[in-house]
């Protein structure tokens, strides 16, 4: 028994190593290493792009999996309510205090409503929601798909002629794209309420000027900017998190088995968080 399972392990590991088609070279020459790094990076990007295209194509392939989509919205959206609530209320309350402190130096406490709401709607709402969702739902999706990949469950789907994208990945894409803007709107609302609590209730800002300042300064364009951000972040987070899990066997240096899944999950959360921050700047620079 022991010997049999031992042999099996060696075999699957050996095969896994052979499966790696990446152009990694264990060379001491820095130029060679740079070259092999470049080849690995470009082929990885190519695989990720192909993955994304297949996932979007899966969204329009029939039969449509409504039950799975609802389950995913429940997990990504409804399941994130509590964590989004606490992040939003504390962010809003801190913004209220901090804003009051800064604005009162100029005697402009009346501007608190517009300061808090603009910061939340255009900036903190979309970014913090995306970061929280990447940490909570993104990591879970990545690990789930990674485990399905290494235990041949995805191969099994293909062998049954079931498209793994339509079946597994695309519902997650759609659910994320639907949930993220809604969660962001929820974040904004709770955040503005938090700012009201600390600014108006605790520090004594005039409630009328808090609401009125918000009403006059927030334009449709600001809300549109926040919406575009949350949509782009949703696409980034779901793409990176599911993609890293799906490609777990092809990522250089990820290792094998359970370790490879834990590594790509960490990598997915870090990569999606960083790309959210980068794209936040880019979108602001382009659309503002």
Partner 1 sequence: MSETAIEFVDISKSFIDREGQAQTVLDAVSFSIPKGKTTVIAGGSGQGKSVTLKLILGLLRPDSGAILVDGTDVTKLRRKKLEEMRTRFGVLFQGAALFDSMSVFDNVALPLRERTRQGEDEIGERVMRWLAQLGLDGHEEKFPAQLSGGMRKRVGLARALQLDPEIILFDEPTTGLDPVMTHEIYELFARTQQQIGFTSVIVSHDIPGVFKLADEVIILDKGKTDVFSSVEEISTSSKPHIRDFMQKTMGEINRHHLVQ
In the complex with partner 1, the residue whose CB is nearer, 159 or 286, is 159
CB 113 within 8 A of CB 198: no
Taking the complex as a whole, the smallest distance from the CB of residue 91 to partner 1 amounts, in Å, to 34
In the complex with partner 1, the residue whose CB is nearer, 33 or 85, is 33
What is the C-alpha separation between 99 and 94, in angstroms, rounded? 8
Taking the complex as a whole, the smallest distance from the CB of residue 34 to partner 1 amounts, in Å, to 15
What is the C-alpha separation between 91 and 192, in angstroms, rounded? 9
CB 176 within 8 A of CB 234: yes
In the complex with partner 1, the residue whose CB is nearer, 44 or 222, is 44
In the complex with partner 1, the residue whose CB is nearer, 14 or 46, is 14
Give the residue from 132, 101, 96, 131 showing the smallest Cα distance to 115.
96
In the complex with partner 1, the residue whose CB is nearer, 155 or 259, is 155
In the complex with partner 1, the residue whose CB is nearer, 74 or 153, is 153
- Rg (C-alpha) for the chain, rounded Å, is 23
Which residues would be at the binding site for partner 1 (CB under 8 A)?
A: 1, 4-5, 7-8, 10-12, 14-15, 17-26, 63, 147-148, 151-153, 155-156, 158-163, 167
DSSP 8-class letter at 64? P
Taking the complex as a whole, the smallest distance from the CB of residue 7 to partner 1 amounts, in Å, to 6
What is the C-alpha separation between 173 and 153, in angstroms, rounded? 20
In sequence order, what are the residues at sequence separation of 6 or more whose Cβ sits closer than 8 angstroms to the Cβ of residue 52?
239, 243
CB 237 within 8 A of CB 134: yes
Taking the complex as a whole, the smallest distance from the CB of residue 183 to partner 1 amounts, in Å, to 24
Compute φ and ψ for 173, nearest 5 degrees.
-60, -50
Taking the complex as a whole, the smallest distance from the CB of residue 188 to partner 1 amounts, in Å, to 34
Taking the complex as a whole, the smallest distance from the CB of residue 8 to partner 1 amounts, in Å, to 5
């Amino acid at each position: 028994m022991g010997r049999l399972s031992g042999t099996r392990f060696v075999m699957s590991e050996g095969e896994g190593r052979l499966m790696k088609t990446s152009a990694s070279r264990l060379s001491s020459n820095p130029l060679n290493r740079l070259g092999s790094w470049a080849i690995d990076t470009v082929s990885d990007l190519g695989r990720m792009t192909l993955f994304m295209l297949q996932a979007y194509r899966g969204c329009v392939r029939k039969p449509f999996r409504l039950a799975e989509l609802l389950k995913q919205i429940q997990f990504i959206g409804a399941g994130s309510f509590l964590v989004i609530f606490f992040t939003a209320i504390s962010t809003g309350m801190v913004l209220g205090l901090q804003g009051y402190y800064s604005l009162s130096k100029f005697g402009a406490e009346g501007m608190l409503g517009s300061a808090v709401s603009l910061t939340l709607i255009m900036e903190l709402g979309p970014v913090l929601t995306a970061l929280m969702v990447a940490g909570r739902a993104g990591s879970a999706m990545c690990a789930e798909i990674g485990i399905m990949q290494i235990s041949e469950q995805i191969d099994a789907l293909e062998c049954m002629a079931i498209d793994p994208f339509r079946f597994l990945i695309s519902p997650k894409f759609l659910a994320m794209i639907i949930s993220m803007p809604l969660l962001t709107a929820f974040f904004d609302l709770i955040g503005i309420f938090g700012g009201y609590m600390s600014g108006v209730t605790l520090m004594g800002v005039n409630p009328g000027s808090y609401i009125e300042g918000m009403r006059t300064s927030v334009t449709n364009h600001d809300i549109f900017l926040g919406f575009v951000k949350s949509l782009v972040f949703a696409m980034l987070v779901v793409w990176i998190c599911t993609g890293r899990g799906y490609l777990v066997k092809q990522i250089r240096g990820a290792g094998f088995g359970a370790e490879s899944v834990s590594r790509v999950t960490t990598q997915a959360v870090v990569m999606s968080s960083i790309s959210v921050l980068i794209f936040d700047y880019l979108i602001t620079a382009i659309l503002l």
